[in-house]
């Protein structure tokens, strides 16, 4: 049977709209767990037109509203990459002499010296003098092998964790924990290979924040094996979603499954204010939790509701073991 929250929001459903507006409709102290992955500000289509300032303000507002809607003792889990990169004209341009792409050993300095010693020579004559092509002469003069000299403003790189912690602590939600999600080594054939020395992210974080209050700690939520394998571990290893055919950045089901089982109980309300394709709601339903999803784009709202409705009526209880079987039990 469909449920409705006191304010009229339909439970176990994804609602279309701006999450900053929809969050205001939730009652105080109503959400046991909020799990979400915001836009990473990496150029996805749904981030189009969003400035870094607007992106930061969005996260700030959403986090601040959680201080009201979370139950005392409840959690907010944010999955995000820890590196943010964006254009910033105040940062000096990175000048990279990409020697690995040079087919000629003639340097810019040699070209400039020859040009100084023979000012009347054109590039063809300089090329004959130096034993290279006229294209090489032009490339050296134009800085074509020095990356950054002919490109747009330098990219600013900053970490995200400190910003999230600042926003959360300001809202009265101190950091409780963090997990590192190591994804599959999918980058071997990646188009993201770069001529710079920067790495390609192979991991993301799950930052967990807590609303002060009494938190129920129940070690029977997981089996002994699960506690050993991942419940008490700071590093989680499982693959990402490779076939993002209907959404650009799907959750792997294992990510919300672990967080929901660890930080909530059957019957709790789980919120995802950036619902996307509906994975967190689908997993919440399968684990016997109620859920609410908020999503801005209508096409993703339809996708999320289509996926989550398949789970309605098929709740699967969490596995558990007797207390005496738990690690550290008397």
Q: Decide if 89 is inside a domain.
A: no
Domain identity same for 39 and 163: yes
Q: Decide if 110 is inside a domain.
A: yes
CATH number reported for the structural domain that contains residue 26 in this entry: 3.40.50.150
Domain identity same for 234 and 208: yes
pLDDT average per 10 residues of sequence, the chain (330 residues): 56 94 95 92 62 88 97 96 76 62 77 93 90 83 56 68 94 96 64 58 91 94 96 92 58 93 96 93 94 93 87 46 37
Q: Decide if 7 is inside a domain.
A: no
Q: Decide if 30 is inside a domain.
A: yes
Domain identity same for 283 and 316: yes
Please, which contacts does 184-190 make with residues 24 or more away whose CB atoms are closer than 8 Å? 184/239, 184/240, 184/242, 186/239, 186/240, 186/242
For the chain, how many structural domains are there in total? Answer: 2
Domain identity same for 119 and 195: no
Domain identity same for 106 and 178: no
Expressed as residue numbers, the domain containing 305 is: 13-83+159-325
Would the CA dihedral through 302, 304, 309, 310 be positive or negative? Answer: positive
Q: Decide if 2 is inside a domain.
A: no
**pLDDT given at position 251:** 75
Domain identity same for 129 and 278: no
CATH number reported for the structural domain that contains residue 113 in this entry: 1.10.10
Contact assessment for residue 266 and residue 294, using Cβ atoms and an 8 Å cutoff:
no
**pLDDT given at position 156:** 74
**pLDDT given at position 168:** 97
pTM of the model: 0.73
């Amino acid at each position: 049977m469909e449920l409705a929250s006191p304010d009229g929001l339909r439970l176990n459903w994804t609602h279309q709209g701006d999450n900053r507006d929809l969050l205001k409709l939730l009652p105080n102290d109503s959400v046991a767990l909020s799990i979400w992955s915001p836009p990473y500000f990496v150029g996805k289509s749904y981030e189009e037109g969003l400035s870094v300032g607007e992106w930061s303000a969005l996260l700030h507002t959403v986090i601040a509203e959680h201080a009201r809607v979370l139950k005392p003792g409840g959690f907010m889990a944010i999955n995000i990459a820890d590196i943010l990169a964006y254009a910033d004209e105040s940062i000096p341009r990175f000048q990279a002499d990409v020697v690995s792409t040079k087919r000629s050993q003639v340097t810019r300095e040699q070209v400039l010296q020859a040009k100084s010693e023979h000012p009347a020579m054109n590039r063809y004559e300089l090329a004959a003098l130096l034993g290279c092509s006229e294209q090489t002469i032009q490339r050296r003069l134009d800085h074509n092998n020095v990356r950054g000299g002919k490109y747009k403003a330098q990219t600013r790189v900053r970490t995200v964790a400190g910003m999230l912690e600042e926003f959360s602590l300001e809202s009265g939600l101190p950091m409780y924990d963090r997990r590192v999600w190591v994804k599959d080594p999918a980058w071997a054939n990646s188009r993201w290979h770069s001529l710079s020395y920067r790495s390609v992210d192979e991991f993301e974080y799950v930052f967990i924040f807590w609303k002060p209050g009494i938190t129920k700690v129940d070690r029977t939520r997981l089996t002994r094996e699960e506690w050993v394998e991942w419940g008490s571990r700071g590093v989680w290893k499982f693959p990402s979603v490779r076939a993002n055919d209907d959404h650009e950045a799907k959750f792997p089901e294992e990510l919300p499954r672990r967080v929901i089982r660890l930080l909530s109980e059957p019957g709790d309300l789980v919120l995802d204010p950036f619902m996307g394709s509906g994975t967190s709601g689908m997993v919440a339903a399968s684990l016997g939790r109620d859920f609410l999803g908020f999503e801005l784009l209508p096409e993703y709202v339809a996708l999320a509701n289509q996926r989550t409705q398949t789970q309605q009526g098929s709740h699967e209880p969490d596995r558990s073991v007797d207390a005496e079987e738990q690690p550290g039990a008397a």
